[in-house]
């Protein structure tokens, strides 16, 4: 009986092994795709041909079905003064026999303006033919911004201190924006003594929806916002380049004063970018930008802070400085205005009581702190010799005095 059991066990094991081998033999090997190195080489050739204005070379690695759109993009990019463009492949996944999908970061620099690249994520579809891989699709990664030249014919206006790139805009409007940007740069330089380029790049899309695509977000979030600035907080000289993006719908309805205010405000964000970090509260970054923009204009607090004035006159004096959440786009427009006005008046208070230099020193001290927690408290102590409680009380008293 024992011998029979042993033989049965051996027989079962043999059958099991045979079954496993059969299953293994029936399993199709994973489809082979191009290596990261192969895709990187392909995209390096593609980028070099674009920079060299070599149309044939630019099209050589693309599927013929992409040629019409690619030629159009090639022509549009001729209007953009590129100083560099490259792809950095981050991942390649097989997508079936002879197909693959690659993820890459596209970076480009505008000659004479960018020390570091403007960057965005791209997803590229690839297919193999006769032993060679071709790009069959190129689209923005999820949540990544589109590029202006992908939205239409680009027109370029060069100012003394600015470069304005527009789609679907009149030359007259782009020149007006360049003139305002040229005035904004020295105004910011007078208020903020820092190491920055002293020039800006402004993008003007055709519509609010197009603006949303440039920012990689829902257009509705920017309704009523005349312009925004993109960039990396606390970035060094090689950080992704800043772009001021104008909302043509909201910007157009402003008067000359409002348009100048907007561009000076946004230029301040460009100038202060390297000192603006995750330790910097939004009330301070937005407040300083408004302080620079209003500086020397002669506007009174009542004129510049109408929503907050209404609240103060109604007896609703804010108990605390605005929180970051108060500055979110897409919510209550009046509450957003009160947040901006409150941040501006906090910076006004510092400049009036401690001096303009103390305000910029305070800003730098907050941004230099390693974390948000404790940053404002330490800078208040070190730079202004005060406490959060004393500063908040002084700010609230200032609101009553200037807006009441």
List per-residue pLDDT tens for the chain, 404 residues long. Answer: 434 444 444 444 434 433 433 444 444 555 568 999 999 999 999 999 999 999 999 999 999 999 999 999 999 999 999 999 999 999 999 988 899 999 999 999 999 998 888 999 999 999 999 989 999 999 999 999 999 999 999 999 999 999 999 999 999 999 999 999 999 999 999 999 888 889 999 999 999 999 999 999 899 989 999 999 997 776 665 667 899 999 999 999 999 999 999 999 999 999 999 999 999 999 999 999 999 999 999 999 999 999 999 999 999 999 999 999 999 987 788 999 999 999 999 999 999 999 999 999 999 999 999 999 999 999 999 999 999 999 999 999 999 999 99
Task: Determine the Cα–Cα distance for residues 135 and 102; give it in Å rounded to an integer.
Answer: 10
Contact 202, 163 (CB under 8 A): yes
Where do the domains of the chain lie, and which CATH numbers do they carry?
36-144 (3.10.450.50), 147-275 (3.30.2010.30), 277-404 (no CATH)
**What is the rounded CA–CA span in Å between residue 348 and residue 402?**
11
Cα distances (Å, whole numbers) of residue 282 to 228, 272, 275, 324 = 14, 13, 13, 5
The Cα–Cα gap between 166 and 148 comes to 8
pTM assigned to the model: 0.88
Taking the C-alpha atoms of residue 144 and residue 129, their distance in angstroms, rounded to an integer, is 30
């Amino acid at each position: 009986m024992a011998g029979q059991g042993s033989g049965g066990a051996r027989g079962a094991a043999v059958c099991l092994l045979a079954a496993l081998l059969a299953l293994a033999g029936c399993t199709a090997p994973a489809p082979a795709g191009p290596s990261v190195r192969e895709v990187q080489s392909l995209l390096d050739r593609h980028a070099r041909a674009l920079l060299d204005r070599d149309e044939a070379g630019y099209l050589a690695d693309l599927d013929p079905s992409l040629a019409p759109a690619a030629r159009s993009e090639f022509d549009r990019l001729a209007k953009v003064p590129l100083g560099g463009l490259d792809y950095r492949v981050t991942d390649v996944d097989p997508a079936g026999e002879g197909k693959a999908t690659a993820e890459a970061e596209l970076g480009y620099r505008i000659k004479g303006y960018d020390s570091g690249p403007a960057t965005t994520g791209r997803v590229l579809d690839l297919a193999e033919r006769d032993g060679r891989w071709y790009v069959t699709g190129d689209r923005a990664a999820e949540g990544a911004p589109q590029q202006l030249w992908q939205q239409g014919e680009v027109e370029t206006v060069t100012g003394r201190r600015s470069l304005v790139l527009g789609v679907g805009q009149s030359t007259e409007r782009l020149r007006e924006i360049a003139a305002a940007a040229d005035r904004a740069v020295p105004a910011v330089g007078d208020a903020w003594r820092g190491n920055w380029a002293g020039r800006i790049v402004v993008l003007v899309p055709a519509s609010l929806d197009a603006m949303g695509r440039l920012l990689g977000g829902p257009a509705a979030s920017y309704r009523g916002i005349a312009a925004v600035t993109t960039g990396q907080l606390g970035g060094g000289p090689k950080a992704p380049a800043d772009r001021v993006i104008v909302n043509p719908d909201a910007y157009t309805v402003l008067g000359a004063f409002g348009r100048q205010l907007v561009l000076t405000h946004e230029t301040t964000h460009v100038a202060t970018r390297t000192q603006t970090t995750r330790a910097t509260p939004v009330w301070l970054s937005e407040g300083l930008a408004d302080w620079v923009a209003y500086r020397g204009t002669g506007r009174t607090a009542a004129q510049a802070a109408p929503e907050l004035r209404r609240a103060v006159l109604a007896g609703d004096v804010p108990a605390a400085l605005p929180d970051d959440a108060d500055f979110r786009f897409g919510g209550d427009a009046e509450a957003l205005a009160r947040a901006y006005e409150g941040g501006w008046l906090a910076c006004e208070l510092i400049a009036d009581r401690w001096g303009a230099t103390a305000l910029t020193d305070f800003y730098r001290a907050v941004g230099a702190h390693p974390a948000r927690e404790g940053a404002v408290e330490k800078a208040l102590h070190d730079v202004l010799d005060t406490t959060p409680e004393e500063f908040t009380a002084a700010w609230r008293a200032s609101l009553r005095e200037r807006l009441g």
